[in-house]
Amino acid sequence: MSAASDLARDEHIVAHLRRTEPRAIHHGWDDLHMVGQTDRRDAIRIYARLGLHPIIVHGLRADGECTCGRPACAARGKHPVLRAWQTMPLDVAALDAMLISEWRYSVGLRMGAQPSGMHLVCLDVDGPRDLLTPLEAEHGALPPTLTARTGRGGQHLIYQIDPALAPRNRVRLAPGVDVRAEGGMIVAAPSRHASGNRYEWLAVRQPEVLR
């Protein structure tokens, strides 16, 4: 077979996977309802099963300090443990071993390209959903999507996006609204925030496509 026909075949397979994958993984999203009642080890398995990319994030010690051990950590309980977290392939067994070694570690989700092939962005709303009102007035209403309540009382709205349109990580869209994209992450349920509150899923469904 020629290289050209190999390429055509590969493209056909990829196109087929793109068509079938979202439907194939759709059935599992209800599993996120369980994350609030499970421990972190189960949570990373549920996330991985959904085709997401869980990572291990520093947690909080009983004295309120970050497990990274820096006394003045500016991101207590919300920064990744491993330096190569942005590029490491997903290895659930390795994440599990980390959680066994340090039970106070928390769980995060990498944004951008996912093992399922989806590209995700998170609108990180640092307060009530009203902070999105100016954006919606300008660009139209944001469709309902996979949504979490953050430990600080804000919201994480997670969308699928065409990677060609994907914004850079940490773009400030509006006051109190940041984008977490490729190279970014969010802390996720059942992690606990420095305030004592847990992150939890509010609306459980496959991330909607943002156009």
Nearer to Zn ion, 66 or 188 (CB): 66
Q: How far is the CB of 91 from Zn ion (least distance, A)?
A: 23
Please, what is the Cα angle at 179 between 49 and 71, to 5 degrees? 85
How far apart CA 61 and CA 45 sit, in angstroms, is 24
CB of 170 to Zn ion, least distance (A): 18
Number of neighbouring beta carbons within 10 Å of residue 125: 23
Both tokens of 81, joined, read 């443990």
Give the Cα separation of 107 and 81 in Å (integer).
Answer: 10
CA distance 146 to 57: 21
Nearer to Zn ion, 67 or 145 (CB): 67
The DSSP symbol for 64 reads: S
Burial of 12 (0-12, 13-18, 19+ CB in 10 A): exposed
Q: How far is the CB of 81 from Zn ion (least distance, A)?
A: 9
Report the nearest approach of Zn ion to the CB of residue 201 (Å).
25
CA–CA gap between residue 17 and residue 170 (Å, rounded): 30
Residues lying near Zn ion in the complex (CB under 5 A) are found at 58, 66, 68, 73
Compare residues 73 and 166 and give the one whose CB is closer to Zn ion: 73
Beta bridge partners of 172: 178
174, two tokens: 């509006």
Count the residues in the chain.
Answer: 211
If the CB atoms of residues 71 and 175 are measured against Zn ion, the closer one turns out to be 71
In this complex, which beta carbon is closest to Zn ion, that of residue 51 or of residue 77?
A: 77
Instruction: In angstroms, give the least distance from the CB of 203 to Zn ion.
Output: 30
Instruction: Give the shortest CB-89-to-Zn ion separation in angstroms.
Output: 24
